[in-house]
Amino acid sequence: MRIAFLMAPAGVEQVELTEPWQAVQDAGDEPVLISTKPGRVQAFQGLDKGDTFPVDEIVSDVSAGSFGGLVLPGGVANPDFLRMDRQAVSFVSDFFSQGRPVASICHGPWTLVEADAVRGRTLTSWPSLRTDIKNAGGTWVDEEVHICEQGNNVLITSRKPADLPAFCEAFLREFGRAMV
d(CA 157, CA 103): 6
* Spatial separation of the C-alpha atoms in residues 143 and 163, rounded to whole Å: 9
What pLDDT shows up at residue 13?
98
Q: How confident is the model at residue 180 (pLDDT cuts 50, 70, 90)?
A: low
pLDDT tens digits for 7-21?
A: 999 999 999 999 999
What is the reported pTM?
Answer: 0.97
Is the domain spanning 2-178 CATH 3.40.50.880? The answer is yes
pLDDT digits (tens, 9 = 90+) for 115-129: 999 999 999 999 999
The per-residue DSSP string of 135-159 comes to HTT-EE---SEEEEEETTEEEEEE-
Domain ranges (residues) in the chain: 2-178
In this prediction, residue 152 carries a pLDDT of 82
In this prediction, residue 177 has a pLDDT band, given cuts at 50, 70 and 90, of confident
Candidates 102, 106, 155, 164; catalytic one: 106
CA distance 100 to 87: 18
pLDDT digits (tens, 9 = 90+) for 37-96: 999 999 999 999 999 999 999 999 999 999 999 999 999 999 999 999 999 999 999 999
148 is catalytic: no
Q: Give the model's pLDDT for residue 179.
A: 72
